[in-house]
Amino acid sequence: MRYVPIEDDAANLLERAARIGKITQLVELLELVEEKQVSIDELIERLKAGKPWELQPRIEEIESKVSELKVIAVDHGEWKRDGCKHYDGTKCTHYSYKKEPSAIFKTVKAKDIWRVVVKEQPEYCGFCPSYKDKVEVDIGSRLSVIANFAARKRDGCKHYDGTKCTLWQYEEQPSNIFKTVKDGKVWRVMVKDQPEYCASCLRYEEREEKK
Ligand code: SF4
Ligand code: SF4
């Protein structure tokens, strides 16, 4: 490090100060230089980097918060990315850009759009609100298998009249997910459209003659 008497470089530094409009701050800095608390090289480096001395602690604090956030985003992002149905093993297939983004994220061209390579940048997923669990697809297909089995059970049950279940009844219209129909004073479930209702029923009784 090189320390110089203030008078040697004062004109040079004041010229820099005038250029960036920070004369007051620079005068204080010059005093630090004069007291040899700061080297002239350090000061010039900071001026070149556009980081006025007084802002440095704040900048360091912000940089540290950004790094902490990145660690969290990567951690959560990896988990989200790997469970998301929009992740194809390389990129996010949900978000796209019409022009190549000049942003910080690495992208890949797919036909005439750009997509983010989340394989290498899980932090992109960390802040994403469009995560969709890929297990949903499996649940959907499993429900469909259950509904198919349940439909066979329903069709073989003597309590099915072709529209509703004539065994189970509700005194008040249920507010749950099953569609019902009024039958006299009670409500019955339309198992024709909802065979899954029969899936876990313990009161199935085989009809003598199948429909
Ligand atoms: S979490 Fe968001 S950014 Fe990541 S793959 Fe899914 S949709 Fe794309
Ligand atoms: S299986 Fe159960 S719910 Fe389905 S029609 Fe028969 S009795 Fe009703």
Closest CA to 92 of 103, 102, 82, 101: 82
Distances (CA, A) of 151 to 162, 196, 199, 211: 11, 7, 8, 13
pLDDT tens over the chain, length 211 residues: 444 444 445 556 556 655 555 556 666 666 776 777 767 777 777 666 665 555 667 777 878 888 888 888 888 999 999 999 999 999 999 999 998 887 778 999 988 999 999 999 999 999 899 999 887 667 777 788 888 999 999 999 999 999 999 999 999 888 777 899 999 999 999 999 999 999 989 999 999 865 4
Say which residues have a Cβ less than 8 Å from residue 128's Cβ, sequence separation at least 6.
77, 80, 92, 95
Which ligand ends up closest to the CA of 197? Answer: 2
Residue 198 near residue 178, CB atoms below 8 Å: no
Nearest-atom number in ligand 1 for the CA of 129 is 2
Please give the model's pTM, rounded to 2 decimal places: 0.45
What pLDDT does 171 receive? 92
Pocket of ligand 1 (CB under 6 A): 80-81, 84, 86-87, 92, 94-95, 118, 124-125, 128, 130-131
Residue 10, pLDDT score: 56
Residue nearest to atom 4 of ligand 2 (CA): 198
Q: What is the rounded CA–CA span in Å between residue 103 and residue 53?
A: 28
Joined together, the tokens standing for residue 5 give 């008497």
115 lines ligand 2 (CB under 6 A): no
**pLDDT of amino acid 1:** 45
Give 9 Cα–ligand 1 centroid separation in angstroms: 54
Give 161 Cα–ligand 2 centroid separation in angstroms.
Answer: 10
Q: How far is the CA of 145 from the centre of ligand 2 (A)?
A: 18
